Structure 1
């Protein structure tokens, strides 16, 4: 009886995804409270362990305690494992074990994988998972090697390799956790081209989405052409990164607390780093709390947009933003169809983009309103924290460590929803979609 009730409760792929991430967070928080996971004599407060586990599994990076000094090596490894599972998706990792054990993937599991990877069809889903795992491990391995070589000049070999591996996995999965200590992130390497370029490449590759990576890898095949999805993702990502970097450079150029004291090359590098990081990576090479309010607002917008579908990051996604802009331009031109690269988008795509944006905007607005009653801080500071949590970014102006118990609960909820997606939440708690057998008569209302 109980088994039948449980099956009916988690009957759909969205429900399975939400339950899976929830279980991982609970398990991770329990492990972090064990004596070997933390440096302090007393175990961390339950809410702090839960917050850290939720942040790691949702690949956010917000931290209520310093990752580099509070947790032992074992604790940091636990966090790293949760980051890897959260970034790739627990169903992708489960499929990896199934492949090793030569177990057949069931139809139900393929449906969940389709939902997790934002695919429109189950065709070739297992083959895509194999490529996802291959790309992830290769990119993380190369990133770890480059980081380790650079860190060898500043620290012992063992420490350099460990930090190289940790930061490569964290950055590729757009997690934003760092073990530099004292919440320093990459501030000590603000002018280092190797660290910054490798970090940005890892963040961008993790944020493009595995479908786009697979498309780019296939460029040597005969008659190869980029898919419409890949074209939109690459174009939108490039414009957001360059546009964000230009705005940050102009707004912070004379700010002595951020870019003002750097030479032009370092200013340019730091500007691009701060523009790439809101792709939901969460690392920073300058003090986010010292940024001017206009710059923080720009970063809030970038965090809200986030990465691309099927990637390791969050946000409303670059394609959703592109469809909204396309709809806006179409309306201004007096046209009917949204067209990208000589291809018309179905109305259903436009409606879905509007739904995702409205749901996300509503969630961020409500969370900010609630947080403004539980936390005694400036409104922009609260909005920045909420957007960072929802977009699974991890950037903070310094509010995270000052959150109240209620504030931590709100941020945990936002990180969780940001990882599973607002539509997944809607499909989980909402009723099943039914096919419409008839349409009502058309009516007209006045707009504008």
Structure 2
């Protein structure tokens, strides 16, 4: 479905990506560690035997600084840093593991960064052999990692595959040399082609490519060439991310000449071009920047109403506990969130003292839990049902917003619930905002919706 430029402009406003609710900006520092531990143990006991748990490992090191990146990363020209970080990760896991009364069932794992493939294959193996030795790896686990095409080797892919990782995501970003230069990520297209070829030879079930629109010097012509380069590889999934220009939180983005960034109306056209080309080539729009071939498990899971969303983005598993390891990692225990220290120095200090590295977080009220459910339902399933106990609050806060969204034909709704239309799929973040009681009136903190 074509979307009018007027609608895209109207709803291209700063809004969260809703990988959590409440969003991180609402969290508080000096988190009560004992309270966090109690909720963590409670949640583990509720869900481990039933569905298992998820792990996220943050490996922050990169060999070069990509100037578009907003991730927590540490630039290093030496790989000597791997050893100290591995020991800290292992100790952090041991601290958590001591809290659990039984072996964790590791249903889902994702490795992000930084650049996970900065670490040698053998060191990655060491990390997971330590974690697996006192855990249960179930049948058909969902293990994935992010790889940099420039430094991911055949050995990386084979080692992680043998450990149970069958999904991989490669950051392609943009294939144009001029754009690669300005974002300081020189990455020949043959490197992307090679790592995808290796992954398929080894037996990976799903390969994702990350593309970014809205980067400096991007034009419609250049964007189309990048997309065609990606389509020739035919990945199982494509994440088509909007470049989030947030120099107030990511200082490295101040290295850009903002005059080189596409204007708002130009960026909208880049998005429209990408979505058109993906859907014309057989990819289904999952929502919130994600596209997948009909044969991919993500589409099947979405169609069955079982898609989930957390700090790793969309996932096909719905474990009740996500445990984050490593600097800046975030854990979700349903009743609360906790984030690790954001600097390597502070992270090491906490772990070496024998304490958890969490410093910031949030404990959810019953109202928070209700609003989170509505937001997750909308983001993952395109519909939600309202609970009677929430109606008074919804009538006051959400229903006026829903009336406006209905006028623009994004939703069909009544006091029992709502259903997103095909047009509304383009504006999931805006629809979710109708149930966000925490970020009213904020603007600069978030990236724009388009």
TM-score (norm 1): 0.31
Higher relative contact order (CA 8 A, sep 6+): 2
Structure with higher helix content = 1
Structure with higher strand content = 2
